[in-house]
Amino acid sequence: MKSRILMFSIVLGLIPSAVCLAQGNNVRNIFFDTIGGGFQPTKIGVDNMQYIGDQYITAADSTLMQFTTRIVQNDVEFYADFELVPVDTFYLRVYEIAELDILGWQRLGAAYVVKLDAEFPGPNLRVRWRLFDTARNQQIAKGNLEQVKSQWRELGHDVANELVRTLTGEAGIFRTRILYMKRVGDGKELFMADYDGANEKQLTKTATINISPIFSPDGQTVYFVSFLKGDPQLFKVDVGGGKMSQVTNFAGMAAAPAVSPDGNKIACVLTKDGNSEIYVLDLDGRVIKRLTDHRAIDTSPTWSPDGRLIAFSSDRAGHPQVYIMDADGFNVRRLTYEGGYNDSPVWSARSDRITFVSRTKSGRFDIASIDTSGHDYRILTEVGMNENPHFSPDGKHIIFSSSRLGPIDVYMMDITGRSQRRVTQSGGCSNPIWGPLR
C-alpha cells in the first residue's frame, strides 16, 4: 500500500514538471517564430561634461556643465530605443580612478559612450560631443553645438537629438512641446511646456473650463473646446502670441476636435442634429461633411497619418468600443473586442498602432494599445486611473494623465509601457497632448 502511495505521488509530481517543460518549449518556439531576434534597446553611457578651455571657470559655469549633462542623460534614459548606463561610482572607487575610459564603459555594459566637452566663448556655452563605439574604440560621430548660457536645457536636448539621429536615423523628440489643461481656480486653463515638463507657460486666461486641446500639424495653433460662451464650442489660440478666437458656433455642443494630417480639416463631434455625431469641418468651422449617422454616441475621432482613415469610439454595440471608418464615413468596422469599455482612441504617427483607454478586468481604467489590424491588444499601465493617451510625433512614446499618486498629473512612457515617468508635479493636470516635431 505504501509503495503504491509512493508511486502515485511520484507520478503526480512528474505531471506538472512535464507540463512546464512542454509549455516552455511552446513559448520558446512562438517567440522565435514570430519575433525573430527581437529588439534590444541601445545601451549608452553619457560621460560628465569636461571643460577644455584654458581659463578658470566659475562655480556657476561648473554647475551649468553638470545640469546640461543631466539633461542629456535624462533624455537618453527616457528614449524608447535607448537605455542609459549609469556611472558606477563603486567601480570608480574600487579601481581608484577619477573617470571611466572607453574600456571602463564597455565593462559597465555600454555599447556607446558620449563624451561632452564644454567651452564658454563670451555669454555662450559651446558643447563638443563625440560618440564612441566601445567595442571597437571607434569614434562614430562628433559635432559642436552652441547656445546662450540661459538656453542650456535646449542645448542638452539638441545633443540628445543628435545622438538619436546618428544611431537611429530618426528625428529626436527632445525639443518637442506638450500641452495640457491645468486647474487654476475654478477653471481649467491651457498650459504648454517642454516635453520634460520644464519651461511651463500658460496659454489661456479664461477662468472657465477648457478641454480637448489639439495642435495643428505646424505646431503654431492650438484648437480646443471651451465653455466660455456657455455651451462647449471650438476655439483656437495662437501659440506665439496667445491670441484666442472662436471657431464654431453650433446649437448644442462641439467636442473632441482632431486636425487632419494635412492641416486643412477638423474632425469634430457635434450634437446640432440631436445626437452626438462626427463631422468634418474646415478651419473656419463650416461643416464639410457628416461622417456618422447612428442612434448611438459616436465620439473621439482621430486621423490616420495618411489622412485616409478615421478611428473613433462608439457605443453602438452597447458599450464604448473603437471603430475605424474611411475618411468619407463609409466602410465602418469594429477594431476592439477585448475589454468592456474602450474609449479615446489616438492613431500613432507610425500608423501601425492605436492607443486608447480600456477598462480592464480589475475595473481600472488603463492605457492600452492595439495593432491597426485588430491584433496584439496590450495593456500598458498597471496602477491608478489612467486616461487621455496621446502619441509622441515619432510614435514611440505615449503621454497620458494618471491619478496613481493621488492628484491627477501628466505622465509619459514608451509604447511598450517601459520607463513611465511623471512630467507635471502640481496636480490638477489632465488632457495632455504631444506637439509636433520642431
The residue ranges that bind another protein (CB under 8 A) are: 32-40, 42, 111-112, 133, 135-136, 138, 140-141, 165-170, 352
AA identity, residue 53 = G
Closest to another protein by CB, 168 vs 360, is 168
Q: Give me the least distance between CB of 167 and another protein, in Å please.
A: 5
The backbone region for 107, taken as left when phi is positive above 0, alpha when psi lies in -120 to 50, beta otherwise, is: alpha
Closest to another protein by CB, 343 vs 394, is 394
CA distance to 193, 246, 382, 408, 413, per residue, from 404 (Å): 22, 35, 9, 8, 14
SS3 99: coil
C-alpha cell at 436: 509636433
Which element (helix H / strand E) includes 256? strand 254-259
Q: Give me the least distance between CB of 40 and another protein, in Å please.
A: 6
The backbone region for 428, taken as left when phi is positive above 0, alpha when psi lies in -120 to 50, beta otherwise, is: left
CB of 192 closer than 8 Å to CB of 178:
yes
> Residue 400, Cα to own-chain centre: how many angstroms?
8
> Residue 76, Cα to own-chain centre: how many angstroms?
15
Q: Give me the least distance between CB of 83 and another protein, in Å please.
A: 12
Q: Name the residue among 225, 217, 207 with its Cα closest to residue 262.
A: 217
Q: Give me the least distance between CB of 38 and another protein, in Å please.
A: 6
Closest to another protein by CB, 3 vs 34, is 34
Q: Give me the least distance between CB of 37 and another protein, in Å please.
A: 4
CB of 280 closer than 8 Å to CB of 289:
yes
Closest to another protein by CB, 43 vs 153, is 43
Closest to another protein by CB, 194 vs 394, is 394
Q: Give me the least distance between CB of 348 and another protein, in Å please.
A: 12
CB of 361 closer than 8 Å to CB of 393:
no
Closest to another protein by CB, 32 vs 67, is 32
C-alpha cell at 54: 584654458
Q: Give me the least distance between CB of 36 and another protein, in Å please.
A: 4
Closest to another protein by CB, 136 vs 289, is 136
